[in-house]
Amino acid sequence: MDTPVKLPDFGDTAVLTDTLANFSQIVDMLRGERESQRAKWGAQSHSPNKWLVILGEEYGEACKAALEGKRENLGYELLQVAAVAISALSGLLSDGGK
């Protein structure tokens, strides 16, 4: 899968050991993933239930990567979980939580 930003080596345990020190890198990665999702799917407007289904699917992929010991996949799947959650929150805020 193509990604709009260069992802770090999630297999390297030193990459994201200090969340605060890497916060701007994480935000940049999230921004890139959101741009990729928007390019792939267009603007999204879903009910809260639909957002939770989408988020659950992404979370399930993260769980699978963790269970299989695929650290690099886990990092990317967690990035997708976070980006979908941000998109869902953005949708809730823009439609007044309807």
Instruction: Give the model's pLDDT for residue 33.
Output: 92
Q: What is the domain range of residue 52?
A: 45-98
| Rounded distance between C-alpha atoms, residue 36 and residue 3, angstroms | 7
Longest dimension (CA), the chain: 42
Is 3 part of any domain?
A: no
Collapsing DSSP to helix, strand or coil, 10 comes out as coil
33-60 pLDDT, tens per residue? 999 999 998 888 899 999 999 999 999 9
Per-residue pLDDT of the chain (98 residues; tens, 9 = 90+): 444 455 666 666 555 556 566 788 888 899 999 999 999 988 888 999 999 999 999 999 999 999 999 988 999 999 999 999 999 999 888 875 55
CA atoms within 13 A on the CB side of 47: 3
Is 8 part of any domain?
A: no
Which amino acid, 44? Q
Is 17 part of any domain?
A: no
Number of domains in the chain: 1
Q: Is the pTM of this model over 0.85?
A: no
The tokens describing 48, both together, are 């809260």
